[in-house]
């Protein structure tokens, strides 16, 4: 009955959840029945009927919040999607922690005679802390790759993109570029309270051969999360604080803060902020940018995450000291590995980084990571119970509702504070001494979403115990997805707790006297039962319910044996993960230019006795099948004094030489060649500039530029065939 009542509460309108105690009391009375009564003597103990009733109903529901497997169908709705999409109606989204995220497209017009495509991608239905790196497909655009107006000024998309970031403030204005250029978008389209990206694409078949690429961003989400330890609100990656926020947030459960146990929330938050030591991982420092306080590390992918603890273990960089703990602020994750550093975790979250000075070499070593940090999204059309479940799973925690108060706990060992024995029993007990294979596991696997996988879903390293497998005679696998876990070490720690908990075989259910009122779901207590040989044996409360037995109140407990070893973890146990392992397939957007460009000038006698000259141009094709097999080379030339190259000539990708006939003597020329692959993606140009044709005095010349190319497949006697230029010119100027 408790479960049903809880589900009812979770689907109530938000306003109804503002006072969960009042909502629960009526249901509790119905659950107990009219024949039950509470005596005045009990009330005199200082307990209220409302608190008892709420405890009775919600304690059973509280145990349902213990980690358990969910089907994977809703996983993406929690972990986020690095893609944008278009649909008429999209659910509002809450972003927690730092994740890579796309979102629904709000508006997508074209202007400038179809030269410009504009797009608005909505990232969150609230204010966010920061919008960091922008991902255009798999290309990273960082803040230092843009000017103050959002124009991209370096990298693949230089001069082809303009990006504006909006954090979702209540007073943000409409984008001025879009409102000035698109007739339907006015200055009233402010999207206040919505974090979004405005991006303008300049059309280029070479830059965007397959149409518009996917747009996403690394977002530091909701930044109004209250921390009861400090009394302040801000951004956090702390999972128990996210649970507290979702309970209290009006887009979540809308529970009034007075009905949340902040002492327990603080305890869980402290446990989650603890740093877990790891076997040190070293990163070579390649350079230091003093103007932006950025450290570039060796490698093309970053596997450090926000809040990781590092030390400078060798080298000298002004602003850093060897042996001092620093906290990572990622700056660029793909293409280059770049970070900034902060002096504290709070500063890392707030973007307060260390001023760096001289120094360009050294070694940074990662030495520890937070116990239970993470990130993900909630869609507001998903059941609140399901959303809370995902957060709780990623911190191996529990959430219970007892005595009119929500109580949050993270996965960790708690010393017993209560001692009970057989004298506290109020009736017979039921004991299970062996858990069935269905409920026991020796192998835990699942999915998580990590920056190491570019913000995509991936399998975290499975956790298994060979001794348990041998004892069970087979692998007993459990699928346990962790939508909000982002570090492989954390995912493995949680998976180990799940496995070890399943190995605690002894479970009992029994009615206790009111001495057990001091316990609640998640508490650990000592219990002695001589008949079973238990002397101060430790048990964890998994279910707590107040009920009546022959007119007297009893506390019905279900408890499972527990040990501190369930939560033990050594750094050497972790299996490291290769950050987004490199594919063996080539990147079609990385097109190499031809090399070895050379030009020879040849004098040619005409049938009329005149002389003319031609260029013999050669190059070495790149080792790229996308160019050589089905691609092409683009060739352009001009007089050096001209500002413009003549219209392009194109030749097949299996071609390595060409001729340009009948050029003028005494004139300096420039020539350039580039590769174009089968998708139309072009390389940079290779240039040969400033070569001059000379001729004997008094000779006459006919200028009629033509193009000849050498081809291995040609059947002409001289190995040449003619390809016409794309336009006809006879005055040596750009037409």
pLDDT tens-place string over residues 219-241: 999 999 999 999 999 999 999 99
pLDDT at 660 (0 to 100): 82
Q: Between residues 71 and 378, which one has the greater pLDDT? A: 378
What gap in Å lies between CA 360 and CA 379, rounded to an integer? Answer: 44
pLDDT at 4 (0 to 100): 32
- Residue 118 — very low, low, confident or very high, per pLDDT cuts 50/70/90? very high
pLDDT at 520 (0 to 100): 86
Mean pLDDT across the stretch 298-310?
96
- Residue 650 — very low, low, confident or very high, per pLDDT cuts 50/70/90? confident
Terminal Cα-to-Cα distance of the chain (whole angstroms): 83
Mean pLDDT across the stretch 181-203?
94
pLDDT at 585 (0 to 100): 58
pLDDT tops 80 at residue 511? yes
Q: Between residues 435 and 218, which one has the greater pLDDT? A: 218
CA distance readout (Å), 115 to 109, 112, 144: 11, 5, 26
Most confident of 183-187, 188-192, 583-587, 708-712: 188-192
40: CB partners within 8 A, 6+ apart: none
Mean pLDDT across the stretch 98-103?
95
pLDDT at 664 (0 to 100): 78
pLDDT at 605 (0 to 100): 73
Beta pairing partners, 400: 407
pLDDT at 710 (0 to 100): 39
Q: Between residues 605 and 676, which one has the greater pLDDT? A: 676
pLDDT at 149 (0 to 100): 96
Q: What is the tens place of the pLDDT at every residue in 462-473?
A: 999 999 999 999
pLDDT at 63 (0 to 100): 35
**CA of residue 564 relative to chain centroid, distance:** 33
Percent of the chain whose predicted confidence (pLDDT) is above 90: 59
Pairing state between β 275-289 and 139-141: unpaired
Worst-scoring range by mean pLDDT, 100-104, 492-496, 725-729? 725-729
Domains in the chain (CATH in brackets) are 1-64 (no CATH), 103-213 (no CATH), 275-370 (2.40.30), 595-723 (2.60.40.10)
What gap in Å lies between CA 166 and CA 189, rounded to an integer? Answer: 13
Mean pLDDT across the stretch 659-684?
86
The overall longest dimension of the chain from CA atoms, in Å, is 128
Q: What is the tens place of the pLDDT at every residue in 204-216?
A: 888 888 888 999 9
What gap in Å lies between CA 141 and CA 30, rounded to an integer? Answer: 59
pLDDT tops 70 at residue 365? yes
Q: Between residues 634 and 19, which one has the greater pLDDT? A: 634
Q: What is the tens place of the pLDDT at every residue in 236-258?
A: 999 999 999 999 999 999 999 99
* Cβ–Cβ < 8 Å for 117, 178: no
Beta pairing partners, 546: 555
pLDDT at 86 (0 to 100): 66
pLDDT tops 90 at residue 679? no
pLDDT tops 60 at residue 415? yes
Region of residue 254 (phi > 0: left; psi between -120 and 50: alpha; otherwise: beta): left
pLDDT tops 90 at residue 9? no
What gap in Å lies between CA 333 and CA 297, rounded to an integer? Answer: 11
pLDDT at 694 (0 to 100): 66
Structure tokens at 231: 């009394």
Arithmetic mean of pLDDT over the chain:
82
pLDDT at 394 (0 to 100): 96
pLDDT tops 50 at residue 625? yes
Q: How many CA atoms lie within 13 A of 630 on its CB side?
A: 7
- Residue 614 — very low, low, confident or very high, per pLDDT cuts 50/70/90? confident
Place of tokens 């925690």: 397
Helix (H, G, I), strand (E, B) or coil at 231: coil
Structure tokens at 314: 């060798």
Q: Using CA atoms in the order 604, 605, 610, 612, what is the torsion angle rounded to 10 degrees?
A: -10
Q: Between residues 17 and 533, which one has the greater pLDDT? A: 533
* Cβ–Cβ < 8 Å for 555, 536: no
CA angle 63, 69, 74 (to 5 degrees): 115
What gap in Å lies between CA 285 and CA 586, rounded to an integer? Answer: 28
SS (H, E, C) 141-188: ECHHHECCCCEECCCCCCCCEEEEEECCCCCCCCCHHHHHHCCCCCCC
Structure tokens at 307: 């809040």
Place of tokens 């049903």: 4
pLDDT tops 50 at residue 591? yes
* Cβ–Cβ < 8 Å for 5, 29: no
Q: What is the tens place of the pLDDT at every residue in 29-64?
A: 233 333 332 222 222 223 333 333 333 333 223 333
What gap in Å lies between CA 146 and CA 132, rounded to an integer? Answer: 12
pLDDT at 604 (0 to 100): 77
* Cβ–Cβ < 8 Å for 412, 271: yes
**Neighbour count for residue 642 (Cβ, 10 Å):** 14
pLDDT at 735 (0 to 100): 26
pLDDT at 6 (0 to 100): 33
pLDDT at 602 (0 to 100): 80
pLDDT at 28 (0 to 100): 31
**CA of residue 364 relative to chain centroid, distance:** 23
pLDDT tops 60 at residue 442? yes
Place of tokens 């065939």: 721
Long-range contacts formed by 568-571: CB under 8 A, 24+ apart: 569/276, 569/493, 569/496, 571/276, 571/277, 571/278, 571/279
Selection from 384, 380, 388, 385 nearest residue 92 by Cα: 380
pLDDT at 725 (0 to 100): 34
* Cβ–Cβ < 8 Å for 332, 133: yes
């Amino acid at each position: 009955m408790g479960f049903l009542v809880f589900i009812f509460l979770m689907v109530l309108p938000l306003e109804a959840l503002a006072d969960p105690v009042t909502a629960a009391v009526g249901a509790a009375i119905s659950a107990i029945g009219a024949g039950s009564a509470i005596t005045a003597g009990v009330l005199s103990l200082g307990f209220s009927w409302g608190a008892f009733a709420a405890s009775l109903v919600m304690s059973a529901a509280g145990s349902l919040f213990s980690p358990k497997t969910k089907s994977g169908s809703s996983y993406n709705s929690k972990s986020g999607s690095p893609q944008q999409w278009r649909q008429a109606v999209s659910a509002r989204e809450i972003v927690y922690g730092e994740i890579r995220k796309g979102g629904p497209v709000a508006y997508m017009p074209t202007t400038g005679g179809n030269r410009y495509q504009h797009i608005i991608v909505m990232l969150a239905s609230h204010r966010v802390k920061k919008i960091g790196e922008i991902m255009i497909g798999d290309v990273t655009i960082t803040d230092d790759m843009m000017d103050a107006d959002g124009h991209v000024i370096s990298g693949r998309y230089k001069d082809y993109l303009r990006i504006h970031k909006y954090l979702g403030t209540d007073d943000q204005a409409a984008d001025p570029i879009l409102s000035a250029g698109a007739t339907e978008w006015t200055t009233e389209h402010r999207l206040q309270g919505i974090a979004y990206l405005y991006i303008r694409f300049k059309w280029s078949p070479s830059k965007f051969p397959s149409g518009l690429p996917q747009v996403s961003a690394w977002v530091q989400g909701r930044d109004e999360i209250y921390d009861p330890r400090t009394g302040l609100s801000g951004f956090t990656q702390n999972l128990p604080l996210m649970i507290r926020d979702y309970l209290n947030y009006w887009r979540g459960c809308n529970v009034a803060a007075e009905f949340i146990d902040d002492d327990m929330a603080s305890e869980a938050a402290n446990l989650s902020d603890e740093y877990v030591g790891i076997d040190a991982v070293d990163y070579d420092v390649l350079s230091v940018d003093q103007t932006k306080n950025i450290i570039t590390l060796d490698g093309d992918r970053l596997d450090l995450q926000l809040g990781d603890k590092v030390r400078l273990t060798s080298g000298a960089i002004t602003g850093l000291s060897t042996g001092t703990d620093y906290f990572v602020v990622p700056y660029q994750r793909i293409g280059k590995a770049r970070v900034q550093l902060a002096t504290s975790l709070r500063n890392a979250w707030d973007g307060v980084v260390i001023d760096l000075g001289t120094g360009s070499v050294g070694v940074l070593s990662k030495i520890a990571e937070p116990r239970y940090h993470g990130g993900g999204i909630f869609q507001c059309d998903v059941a609140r119970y399901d959303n809370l479940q995902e957060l709780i799973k990623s911190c191996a925690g529990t959430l219970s509702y007892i005595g009119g108060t929500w109580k949050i706990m993270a996965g960790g060992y708690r010393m017993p504070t209560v001692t009970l024995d057989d004298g506290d029993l109020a009736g017979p007990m039921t004991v299970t001494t062996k858990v069935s294979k269905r409920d026991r596991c020796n192998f835990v696997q699942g999915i998580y979403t990590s920056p190491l996988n570019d913000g995509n879903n991936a399998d975290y390293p499975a956790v298994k115990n060979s001794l348990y497998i041998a004892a069970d005679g087979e692998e007993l696998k459990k699928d346990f997805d962790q939508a909000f876990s982002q570090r492989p070490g954390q995912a493995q720690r949680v998976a180990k707790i799940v496995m070890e908990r399943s190995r605690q075989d002894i479970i009992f259910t029994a009615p206790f006297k009111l001495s057990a009122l001091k316990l609640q779901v998640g508490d650990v207590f000592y219990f002695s039962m001589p008949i079973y040989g238990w002397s101060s044996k430790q048990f964890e409360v998994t279910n707590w319910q107040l009920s009546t037995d022959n007119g007297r109140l009893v506390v019905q407990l279900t408890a499972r044996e527990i040990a501190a070893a369930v939560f033990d973890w050594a750094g050497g146990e972790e299996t490291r993960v290769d950050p987004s392992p490199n594919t063996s397939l080539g990147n079609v957007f990385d097109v190499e230019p031809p090399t070895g460009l050379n030009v020879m000038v040849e004098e040619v006698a005409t049938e009329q006795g005149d002389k003319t000259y031609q260029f013999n141009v050669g190059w070495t094709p790149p080792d790229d099948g996308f160019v050589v097999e089905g691609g092409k080379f683009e060739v352009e030339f001009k007089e050096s004094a001209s500002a413009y190259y003549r219209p392009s000539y194109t030749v097949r990708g299996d071609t390595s030489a060409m001729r340009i006939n009948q050029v003028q003597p005494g004139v300096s020329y420039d020539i350039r060649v580039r590769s174009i692959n089968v998708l139309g993606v072009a390389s940079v140009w290779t240039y040969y500039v400033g070569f001059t044709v000379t001729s004997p005095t008094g000779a006459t010349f006919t200028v009629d530029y033509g193009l000849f190319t050498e081809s291995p497949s040609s059947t002409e006697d001289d190995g040449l065939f003619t390809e016409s230029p794309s336009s006809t010119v006879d005055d040596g100027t750009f037409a």
